[in-house]
Amino acid sequence: MSKSFLFPSQWLKPLHPRDPHEHHRVATSLELLFDLIFVVAIATAGQQLHHAIVENHLAQGLTLYGMVFFALWWAWMNFSWFASAYDNDDALYRILTFVQIIGSLVIAAGIPSAFQKQDFDVIVIGYAIMRLGLVTQWFRVAKHDLSRRKTALRYAFGIILVQVGWLFFHFSPLHFTVYLFILLAIAELSVPVFAEAASRTPWHAHHIAERYSLLTIIVLGESIVGCSIAITDALTNQRFSTELIFLMVGGLMMMFTMWWSYFDTSIAERLNSRKMAFTWGYGHFFVFISIAAIGAGLAAAVDVVSHEALISSEKESYFVAISLVIYTTSLYLLHELHHQSGFRKLLYPLTVVIVLCIPLFITPAGYAIFAMAVVYALRLMFTKCYLAR
């Protein structure tokens, strides 16, 4: 049997860099599949946060949610930026992507245990599976992209070193604390900074902007689905009320204005420097986690309105308000601030103050959330329509 039959060129290609200025570069169907499977884990984490809010376990629930979401977001980040620079779409690339998909599903399977028993064993194993696929890709880059060999090896060995840290500290007799998690998370964030200092990988600015926008849409959609399920459950059990109507309208209005504010600004042209790319890429952690948190908060608000939750109406309102402020502040700093001046710069802090004060004056959660949505929508209309002229 000939070698060309066993290893035809489309099965195994050199992993050469993509053109960072390639015209009409869009997300591939494999990337979309990765995102859709990945959102299963995000949805599972959101459901667990929803339960933690309803049971009034906010401190513990938010801590665990932050830890789980960081692992999910960071794995997605690494895949997306690598694919933007080196997607050659051969059989091995697809197989290694499939390995990372398996890892994401293992992580999703371990999320309930992390919330209910503080057991991260399955999540750490799933994370290791994902990193195995990515490290293999970086070694392929080191072999074929000789001009960036140093960068690729820094990525590969940096990921391996930090992964050993996760495995050692988690499965050792040492107590795996939140502080240790933060230390390892900082180490994870430092690997790309260290690697890209050698030479910049050829990621595509418009492609990266599209990838982030697609995940934003997916997380928004997952949040809407979570709210819809909670509302359907309330209606099925005949817990209908005027407050629930206001909550439904306010929740949809909030999600719509969140979508509007994100997609109303083009950012790709500004991703032309390593510093800006890191700031924008890392800053989106707060964008994604706040969207998912708002979704869980709105779903929990349905239980509060239906008197099926242990958390107070005031606490629930503050949770949604703070989550909304985190989202809007992140978006303001990443997308809006650079092209605003004068009164428009002062309008956003004023909006934050009003949103955070709403729970003080409007106690039922449904009405408070509706008021927050109205304030945010009015600010958006004013800045985007009136002041833009």
CB 93 within 8 A of CB 82: no
Q: Cα angle vertex 78, ends 73, 81, to 5°?
A: 115
The string of pLDDT tens digits covering residues 262-283 is 988 777 677 777 788 899 999 9
SS (H, E, C) 78-99: HHHHHHHHHCCCCHHHHHHHHH
Within its chain, how far is the Cα of 126 from the centroid? 18
Helix 242-263 to helix 365-381 angle (10° resolution) is 30
Distance in angstroms (rounded) separating the CA atoms of residues 126 and 51: 23
- Sketch the domain layout of the chain as residue ranges: 27-203, 206-386
The string of pLDDT tens digits covering residues 219-249 is 898 888 877 877 787 777 767 788 888 888 8
CB 123 within 8 A of CB 114: yes
| Average pLDDT of span 312-334 | 93
* pLDDT the model gives residue 385: 64
Q: What is the CA radius of gyration of the chain?
A: 22
